[in-house]
Amino acid sequence: MFRKILIANRGEIALRVILACKELGIRTVAVHSTADTDALHVKFADEDVCIGPPASRESYLNISAVLSAAEITGAEAIHPGYGFLSENAHFAEVCREVGLTFIGPPPEVIRRMGDKAEAIRTVRHAGVPTIPGSGGLLEDEEQSRQIAERIGYPVLIKAAAGGGGRGMRVVEDAADLPRQLEAASSEAMIAFGVPDVYMEKYLGQPRHIEIQVLGDTHGNLLHLFERECSIQRRHQKLVEESPSTALDAELRARMTGAALASAAAVGYVNAGTVEFLLDVTGEFYFIEMNTRIQVEHPVTEMVTGIDLIKEQIRVAAGEPISFGQEDLKIQGHAIECRINAEDPDTFVPSPGKIRTFHVPGGPGIRVDTASYAEAVIPPYYDSMIAKVIAHGNTRGEAILRMRRGLESFVVEGIKTNVKLQQRILTDEDFVRGRLSTRFMDRFPVPVRKGQE
C-alpha cells in the first residue's frame, strides 16, 4: 500500500481523496495555486506545495509543477480526481515513466476511450449498441436519403465541426430532408467555417443513464449499477440519482452487461463510467466512457455502501477489489444535487466571500464540500461549491430528505442555485420520475428587463 499520495486537484474532490487516505493511513500531499492557499484541501493534507499562480493552465494543469511537487515530497502515487489531468493520457504516461503510480486506468486505455470515435468503434466491435449513424460525412442528397432510410426517421443532421449541442437539425421525414440538409450545411459553414455534416438517429427525449464500473489487476471487473443524470443544463449535470426509475431488472441486466462488455473490450482497470442514452422505445446506445472517478460517485456509494475512492487506491496499489459482484445490491434510493455559486436566475457565476455556511445534516444526508464560512470562492475555477446527497429507503423518502436538506442549507455572501434545486425537487415530472435530457428546457433563463 502507498505511504504517500499526492492529490492533483482542488475543491471537494481533493478533500474527499485526502480524507479517504487518512482512513487508509496514507500520508497526503495537497498541491494548490496561490488562489487556493487557504483552501480546505490544503489545510487537511499532511503536506502542501504551492505549484503556481491562479490560472489552471499554470497550476492544476501544469504537469511539470505537479510532478516536481511529487518529487520533492516523495509521493509514490498521484490521484487526479476528476477534470484537470484525470483523463490526460500524456500525464498518465509521464507518471509511469518517472515511477509514480497514476491512480486510474493505464494511459493506453485513457487514450482509446478518450477518442470518442475510437471508443464507439471499439465497443461496437464488442457487440454494444451505438447510435445508428452515417459513420462519416454526408456527400449528397441521394446518399443522405439512403442513410436516413437505413437509420429510420426522425434523424439528426449534425455539423462535423460543431459540438455541445450546437449545429444540429432534426429531420422528421423524407420530404423534409432536402431542406434541412441544405440549411444544416450552410449553418455549419457560417458557425464553424466548415460545411461538413453527418447524420445520426434522433432520440427525442432520451434519458442519460450511466453505469459505474470497477476493475482491478487480478482479472476482476464488476459494475455498481446505474445512475440517472438526465437533469442537465447545457450539458452540465445538476441532479443525479440511483437507481433510475426507467430501469427494471431486465433492462438493468442488459445495460450493465453492455457496460461490462465496453470496459472489458479495453481491459479496463480502476473506476470508470460507461454512459448511455436510453430512448423512449427502450433501446439504449453507448455514447462514451469516462475513465475517471466522477462528480456524482457519492450516489452510487450511498446505495451500495462501497467507498469508491478507497477501492481506487487499493486497485492502484495492486490489491484486488474488496468485494464481489454477488455482494452488491441496490439499497434504497439516493439523489445528489450540485450546489453552484451562481445567480439563480441568470446562471452567471457568483464568486466571492462566504459569510455564513450551515450545511444540512440529519438522517440520510451527506454533504461533500470544501467550502466554509469566511472562505473565498475564487473566480478561476468551476462554480460548484458543494454536493448534497440524500438517501432514503424509497425514492419518495430520498426526495423528502433532499427537500429538507436544501431548506436547511444556509449560504450567505454569495449566490447559489439552492432555490433552483428546490424547484426541481418539487417539480411534478421529477417526482413522478418523468425525466429526459429535455427536462431543464422548462426552466429557461428569465429575460432581464430592457432586453425584450
Partner 1 sequence: MTSPIVGTFYRQPSPDAAPFVEVGSRVRKGQVICIIEAMKLMNEIEAEIDAEVVEIVVANGQPVEFGEALFLLRPLA
Q: Which residues are catalytic?
A: 292
Contacts of 415 (CB under 8 A, 6+ apart): 341, 342, 343, 344, 350
Say how far apart CA 369 and CA 409 lie, in whole Å: 12
The interface region with partner 1, picked from 61-69, 133-141, 229-237, 331-339 by CB under 8 A, is 61-69
To the nearest whole angstrom, how small is the minimum distance from the Cβ of residue 77 to partner 1?
17
In the set 52, 206, 360, 364, which binds partner 1 (CB under 8 A)? 52
Q: Which is nearer to partner 1, 95 or 308 (CB)?
A: 95
197 - beta bridge partners?
Answer: 159
> Count of alpha carbons within 13 Å of 408, Cβ hemisphere only?
13
In the set 42, 65, 260, 308, which binds partner 1 (CB under 8 A)? 65
In the set 4, 44, 46, 53, which binds partner 1 (CB under 8 A)? 53
Q: Which is nearer to partner 1, 72 or 183 (CB)?
A: 72
64 binds partner 1 (CB under 8 A): yes
The interface region with partner 1, picked from 46-54, 164-172, 385-393, 435-443 by CB under 8 A, is 46-54
To the nearest whole angstrom, how small is the minimum distance from the Cβ of residue 52 to partner 1?
5
| Subset of residues 430 to 449 that bind partner 1, contact rule: CB under 8 A | none
251 binds partner 1 (CB under 8 A): no
In the set 98, 183, 191, 348, which binds partner 1 (CB under 8 A)? 98
Size of site (CB under 8 A) for partner 1: 16
The interface region with partner 1, picked from 57-65, 75-83, 209-217, 404-412 by CB under 8 A, is 57-65
Q: State which amino acid sits at residue 187.
A: E
In the set 19, 50, 170, 376, which binds partner 1 (CB under 8 A)? 50
Q: Which is nearer to partner 1, 92 or 289 (CB)?
A: 92
To the nearest whole angstrom, how small is the minimum distance from the Cβ of residue 49 to partner 1?
5
* DSSP letter, residue 53: S
Distance, C-alpha 259 to centroid of its chain = 16
Q: Which is nearer to partner 1, 29 or 406 (CB)?
A: 29
* DSSP letter, residue 446: P
54 binds partner 1 (CB under 8 A): no
325 binds partner 1 (CB under 8 A): no
Say how far apart CA 26 and CA 81 lie, in whole Å: 17
* DSSP letter, residue 130: B
378 binds partner 1 (CB under 8 A): no
Contacts of 340 (CB under 8 A, 6+ apart): 349, 383, 384, 385, 416, 417
| Subset of residues 165 to 224 that bind partner 1, contact rule: CB under 8 A | none
In the set 18, 39, 40, 49, which binds partner 1 (CB under 8 A)? 49
* DSSP letter, residue 197: E
- Spatial contact of 182 and 140, defined as CB atoms under 8 Å apart: no
In the set 34, 205, 290, 422, which binds partner 1 (CB under 8 A)? 34
The interface region with partner 1, picked from 63-71, 104-112, 185-193, 303-311 by CB under 8 A, is 63-71
To the nearest whole angstrom, how small is the minimum distance from the Cβ of residue 10 to partner 1?
14
Nine-digit cell at 333?
434510493
Handedness of CA 273, 57, 357, 351 (dihedral sign): negative
| Subset of residues 68 to 97 that bind partner 1, contact rule: CB under 8 A | 68-69, 71-73
253 binds partner 1 (CB under 8 A): no
281 binds partner 1 (CB under 8 A): no
To the nearest whole angstrom, how small is the minimum distance from the Cβ of residue 70 to partner 1?
9
61 binds partner 1 (CB under 8 A): no
Measuring CA to CA, how many Å separate 76 from each of 8, 29, 32, 406?
A: 13, 10, 18, 40
In the set 13, 29, 51, 77, which binds partner 1 (CB under 8 A)? 51
Cα Rg of the chain (Å, integer): 23
Contacts of 214 (CB under 8 A, 6+ apart): 221, 222, 223, 224, 270, 271, 272, 308, 311, 315, 321
Say how far apart CA 88 and CA 443 lie, in whole Å: 34
Of 240, 278, 246, nearest in space to 259 by CA: 278
Say how far apart CA 48 and CA 51 lie, in whole Å: 9
Q: Which is nearer to partner 1, 49 or 209 (CB)?
A: 49
Say how far apart CA 189 and CA 197 lie, in whole Å: 10
Q: Which is nearer to partner 1, 93 or 283 (CB)?
A: 93
Site string for partner 1, 134-153 (x = CB under 8 A): --------------------
Say how far apart CA 155 and CA 170 lie, in whole Å: 6
Which chain residues interact with partner 1 by CB under 8 A? 34, 49-53, 59, 64-65, 67-69, 71-73, 98
